[in-house]
A and B are shown apart, each in its own frame.
Chain A
C-alpha cells in the first residue's frame, strides 16, 4: 500500500517520534523511506552571504542528524535515503510527494513554535490541507 514513504524531519523530539512511526510502517509495508530536512532561508535577506552562511550552517547541522536517523532506520533493514533541501518545509514535502509519487507523508504535529509558527504557519496543517496523498500526523502527547 505504501511503497514510498516521505518523512519530514528536523531532529526534534517530535520528529524523532514521527521517525519511529515511519520506520515501523516502512518495515511492515516493505516501503522505501525518504527522510527530508528543510532549511528555512531567512526571509528578505540582505546579502547572499547571509543566505549562503545559513545554508552552510544548516547543512552541517542536519548532516549528522540525518546520518543518525538513517542509521536507526537501516537497523530495521529499511531502504532509506536522506535529503537536505532549502525552502518552506510544507512546500518541499508536498512538491516531492507529488513529483515523485510518494504514497504517504509522515510529519510531526509540533516543531516550530512561537512567532515563527505564527508567521510561517503550521507545517502539518499545510501538508494535510494541500497534499494529494495520505498524510500521517504524529501528535505530541500531553507530557511532550
Chain B
C-alpha cells in the first residue's frame, strides 16, 4: 500500500486500539502501543516509511524533552550528594556489567554491546513516579532522593548514547559550541518568548520549542550523535520554568500523545520479532536478572551508606531497576543505525519491557515501606 493517507489511517487505527486496550486493562498507553505494535509487525505486515520514521523520531525527541523538563531543580538540589551517588552508580554498574557480559560472553561486537549496556542501565522515572504517588512516598525525603537519582541515571544514559557513538569531528565541535551558547540563555529566552508571544492562536511558543529540538537535534545527528541528547538537555534547561507553566506542558503533551508518540511506540513494538523472542527467552530473562543484580550491586550499598532502612534500601534498589523510555530509545537507535540486528533488538526491548514490570511487582509486593 502506497497511499499516504491510508497508511496514516492504519497507524492511527492501531493507536486507537491501543488506547482502548489501555483503558480496558489499566495498562499505560505506551505499553499498550508497544504490544499492539508487536502484533502489527508480526501478524499485520505493519511497516515503516520515511515519514513514519520522522513522526516516531519526533515522538522520542518530545518524550525525552518532557522527561528533562519534568526534573524539579529543587528536588535535585536538596540531597544532591545522596541522589547523585545513587543515580550515578545505578547507571554505571548495569552499564558496565551488561556491556561486559554482552561483549565477552555473548560475543556481540563492541558497539552492539555498548547499546546493550546503555539500554539496560536505564531507570524509568515514570514507573518510579507512579509507585511513589500510590504509596505517598513522593512527598517524603526518601521519595525525593529516589526521583532525583532517577534523573541522574537518565542523564548518564542520554550522555552515553550521545557521546559513545558520536564522531568527534567539526560537526561535533560546532554542536558543542552551539549548545554552550544556547543552554545558558535558554531559561531566560524561553520565559521571554512565552511572556511576549505565548498563549496566542499562532502557538508560537510551541513552534519555538520544536524549532530548538529539531535544530539542535539536527546538529547532533550531523555529528552522528543522537537527537535525544540535546532534547534532554533543553528539557533540563527549562525544567524549573516548565513546572510553573503547567498549561504549556499540557498543550505539548496533547500534541505529542495524539500524533507523535503513538508512531514511536508502535514502531518500537513492530520490530520485536515473536520468533526471536521465543528463541531467545533464556537470554532475555538472563538480561533482566543481570539488570536487577547489577542495579543491586550499584544502588543497595549506597543506600546503606546513606542509612536507609533495609526495607527502604531494597525498595529503592528495585525501583531503580525499572526502565522503559530510554531503554527502548537506545535499542531503536541501535537498530536504526545498523548497530544491532532485529534479533538483538528483540532481546533488548523485551528485557527492557520486562524490567518495567517485574521489579515493580516485586517491590510493591514484598518491600513496600511500612510507614506509608
Contact = CB atoms under 8 A, between A and B. Distances in A.
Contacts of B24: 114-116
Contact of B70 (A43, A48, A55): A48
B356 A44 contact: yes
Contacts, number: 91
A41 B30 contact: no
Contacts of A13: none
A41 B133 contact: yes
Interface size class of B (residues with CB under 8 A): 20 to 34
A47 B134 contact: no
B28 A50 contact: yes
Contacts of B253: 49, 53
A42 B249 contact: no
B126 A45 contact: yes
Interface string B50-70: 000000000000010011001
Contacts of B67: 47-48
B277 to A, nearest CB: 18
B31 interface: yes
Contacts of B356: 44, 46
A40 B126 CA distance: 15
Contacts of B360: 44
Contacts of A48: 66-67, 70, 125-126, 129
B133 A44 contact: no
14 contacts: A40-B26, A42-B27, A43-B31, A44-B127, A44-B130, A45-B29, A45-B31, A47-B126, A48-B66, A48-B67, A48-B126, A50-B29, A53-B250, A116-B25
Q: Which 3 pairs from chain A and chain B are nearest by CB? A: A46-B30, A45-B28, A42-B28
